[in-house]
Structures are given as structure tokens and as C-alpha cells.
Chains A and B, each alone.
Chain A
Amino acid sequence: MLLIRCPWCGDRDEVEFRYGGQADVAYPTDPHELDDAEWGNFLFVRANPMGALTERWVHTAGCRRWFSVVRDTATNEMTPDIPRRRESR
């Protein structure tokens, strides 16, 4: 079981959280400009590095706030994504 640090509540069991996928996926400026392949890329294609990935998590069973962390996908080691912390309510 992972121990995940909620920026508000502190260390909690993984089961209290839900995963929100890769962070910082920007919405297209003009979706109508996109062809089907580009729209499909925006919807479904995400980075899949072996190493650091910035992710969204939500503390579902606690304060119900969204926040970002940088997770090493090889080791599951998590570090807070500090600059985003307070905007992620």
C-alpha cells in the first residue's frame, strides 16, 4: 500500500485517494481546428515515462481536494508539486 501525502491532511493510505492521470494537459485553444486524430490524441494519449511524471490525485475519502504530485513511475516515490499546491483546491 502506498502512503500518499495530501498537502492538507498529511500522509494517508492510498485507498483514500483516486487517480486523476497526467497533470498539465492543456485544453486545445480551438477544438474545432483539430482533426479526429489530434482530438483523439488530446483525449487519450498521455506521457508514459519510466521516471518522473506529474500527476493529479484527489483525496476522495478525506478533504476531497485535488492536488499534483511528481511520481517516479519506476519506484512510486512521490514528491509534492509545490508551486501548484495552493491553486489546486
Chain B
Amino acid sequence: MTVLHRVETDLAEADTATAAPRHSPLEHRGAEFERATALGPRGVRLREEPFLTQLNLRVPPDDAVSEAVAEALDLTPPAANKVSGDEGRALLWLGPDEWLLVAEEERARGALRAVRSAQQDASGSSVDVSANRTTLRLAGPAAREVLEKVCSLDLHPRAFSVGDCAQTLLGRTVAVLWQVGPDPEYRVLVRCSFAEYLADLLLDAMAEFLEG
């Protein structure tokens, strides 16, 4: 990896106050998600968490640069298939030289600039991919059962728990799966154009838990 990519797309730094109103892929389905919420000991609920800032970082593995990049973000380098940080600002491991910063907008300001100054002239890249995916949040005692219907990974706590992440197939689409809470609670990052499909799939999987 010797090519230096510096794509100057910089959504995270944009002045959103003057920008046109944004639309998330699932904004029109909020009421439907609400109606699909199942309560009780076998409950599960789904909602969209739109507009999280996502930066795709390619950093050389086992290298001073990766340490510097993590430090610039005030986070620790994530171990393989793990997440470091908290859900408001986290580094997800996507590959041996690839991380994804996922953060609330307010907590991502200046992140791209900080990463780039840490990368300096080292090989790698940092690209704002916030518009690439939206985030679904699936929570409740039955959340794991719902996911298991569409995912072939072993999601039992002995194999997958809080702070773990995985890129895998959910139904027919690729997604980044991240367990954020023990209840259990998951974030699912999915390409915008597949968000409707995945929402349909999850709503269908949730239907049996709805009473009546």
C-alpha cells in the first residue's frame, strides 16, 4: 500500500447550518417502527439513528501511524473485530488496516483534520463516508433472536457481546453489526440503498414478538 489518497470530500467539516435540510433513507418509516415495537420480556424495538458521522480510515497495521491516528482521535486502536470508545464516538475494526470512526456529529467535528495531520505523509487514507450508510438500532430482550433469523453469525454472548463488531450478511445485504448494549442492543450500519430492504426484513422478523 504505497498510494496516497487524500479525497477532499469533507462532509464532517461542512457548515450544516447553511446546508439544505437533509433526508435519511428511513425517515418516512418512523411511525411504522413505532407500531412494530414489542414490549415485555420478549420485547424488541427498531429505530433509525440517522446522520452519524462515519470516517473510513486506512492505516498501516502495527505501525506508529496507527497509534498516532488513534491518539489524534483520543481513542485506542481497536483490536480485531472489536470496537474502542463509547457509542457516541467509536473506532470500529473493519480489517487489518482499516477502521471506521462512527460518532455523533457534534463529537466528530475536526476529526478528519486531526486524522490527516496524524497521518502526515504516511500511506493510507481518510475519507468521510457518512452518506454511505445509515444506522438501525435494534434493542430489547428479543433483539438477538430477531437478528439470528437473518444472520448466520453466532450471536450468543459467549461469541459476540458488547464492544464486538462484524461485517457480515444480513439476509442478502452486507452490513456492519455492532453490539452496543447487554440488553442486548445492536447498531446495524447498512448502505442507504439497502436500508429499506433491511428494515423490511427486520420488521418481518420482529412480527412474531408483537402481542395480539
Q: Are B169 and A63 in contact (CB under 8 A)?
A: no
A10 partner residues in chain B, CB cutoff 8 A: 81
CB distance from B16 to the nearest CB of A (A): 31
Tell whether A64 pairs with B169 under 8 Å between CB atoms, given A8-B80, A9-B81, A13-B152: no
Contact partners of A16 in chain B: CB under 8 A: 168-169
Q: Interface with A: B94-102, B117-125, B138-146, B201-209, which one?
A: B94-102
Give chain B residues whose Cβ lies under 8 Å from the Cβ of A32.
none
Q: CB distance A9 to B167 under 8 Å?
A: yes
Is A65 located at the chain interface by the 8 A CB criterion?
yes
Task: Contact check, A65 vs B81: say whether CB atoms are below 8 A apart.
Answer: no
Known pairs A65-B95, A89-B96; A9 contacts B166 (CB<8 A): yes
Q: Judge if A2 is at the interface, Cβ distance under 8 Å.
A: no
Q: What is the size, in residues, of chain A's interface with B at 8 Å between Cβ atoms? A: 14
Q: 1/0 per position for A1-28, CB-CB distance to B under 8 A? A: 0000000111011011000000000000
Contact A61 B95 (CB under 8 A): no
Nearest-neighbor residue (CB-CB) of A60 within chain B: B174
How many angstroms between the C-alpha atoms of A16 and B97 in the bound complex? 20
CB neighbours (8 Å) of B1 from chain A are: 89
User: B-side interface residues toward A, CB under 8 Å?
Assistant: 1, 80-81, 94-98, 152-153, 166-169, 174
